[in-house]
Amino acid sequence: MATAGGETFGRAPWAVSLHGGHSGEFCDHGRGTLREIVDAAIARGYHTFGVTEHGPRFHERYLYPEEAAMEWDIEKVQRDFEAYARESAELVKKHEKMGHPPQRALRSATGGVPTFCLLRGFEAEVVPPGDYAGLMNDIRKRHKFDYVVGSVHWVNDVITDHSKAKFDKAAAKCGGQEALAVKYYEQMAEMAEALRPEVVGHLDVLRKYASPREAVETPRARDAARAALEAICEHGCILDINTGGLRHGLRSPYPAPWLLRMAVHEFGIGVCFGDDSHSPEDVGAGILETRQYLIDNGVEHITYLAREGTAIVRRTASLL
């Protein structure tokens, strides 16, 4: 049975998202409240849902275009993130009081799946170069987040996934789309080493605006992607299988089939769904199609994070 804007999964063992929960309260390009997004996650049938608002930035040049257009400043962005940290912590407490954490929850009939577990994280910004790891790790420690999603959005101080114009500017600054892809994957590898996030976000988001898309999948770009996967594997990161690619009109989620197969079958990297929700309507969108995509590419289980007592642990669940 479908619900408006998303899908329901009946608390299947694989009903997890580790990347999403961007809301209009704390994100310039989100809609709805964080509580509405979490409520939507429960209604869709997730048993584990991670909220991962964009991390704050520390220099005006890294304001998103919409933020700059609204005359936001870095102080507002940082205040909004502090408010997100407080609100997400309150939501975790709320669901603990409702008896939702795994250690107290009733188990469903679907293989001992907990009724609902809310995880609290953020999506790290890999800027400014050379400083981001210390800044992001300080944020994580100060606010006691459960985990971090490491994503690359900026290359040479240009945001790559905002618009075709920005993508083209980033490519021109690098010397072409192939060179942009190489630089992007080099930054991904560096981020995995420097930040060591539990989850790596939308690995090949460059496909969003590449034209032709093959320009970012050349042999040289694939070699750089392979090196990024080596770093991701070395540090035990989970790969976000991100349904945002489907919402943006691509033939597959992020990452593309060749990258997915390389990650799972060559490197043994664990994967998990991320609905990359930016509104309550986005929650769960594309998960059923993405589950089939994984199965079609020989992936039989997901790897996810769970709260057990005060610890965050890795678990697996069958897709079949």
What is the structure's pLDDT at 96?
A: 79
Which residues are CB-neighbours of 308 under 8 A, at least 6 positions away?
Answer: 102, 103
Q: What pLDDT sits at residue 73?
A: 95
- pLDDT above 60 for 1: no
Q: Would you place residue 269 in the very low, low, confident or very high pLDDT band (cuts 50, 70, 90)?
A: very high
pLDDT tens profile 72-109: 999 999 999 999 999 999 999 998 777 554 433 334 43
Task: Please tell me the total count of domains within the chain.
Answer: 1
pLDDT at 260 over 80: yes
Maximum distance among all Cα pairs of the chain, rounded to whole angstroms:
56
pTM confidence score = 0.93
The per-residue pLDDT for range 131-168, each reduced to its tens digit, is: 999 999 999 999 999 999 999 999 999 999 999 999 99
Q: What CATH code is carried by the domain that includes residue 235?
A: 3.20.20.140
The whole-number pLDDT of residue 99 equals 59
| Type of residue at 193 | E
What's the CA gap between 90 and 270, in Å, rounded?
A: 30
285: left (phi over 0), alpha (psi -120 to 50) or beta: beta
**CA dist 263 to 186, 282, 312, Å?**
16, 26, 23
**Parent domain of 109:** 2-318
* pLDDT recorded at residue 100: 52
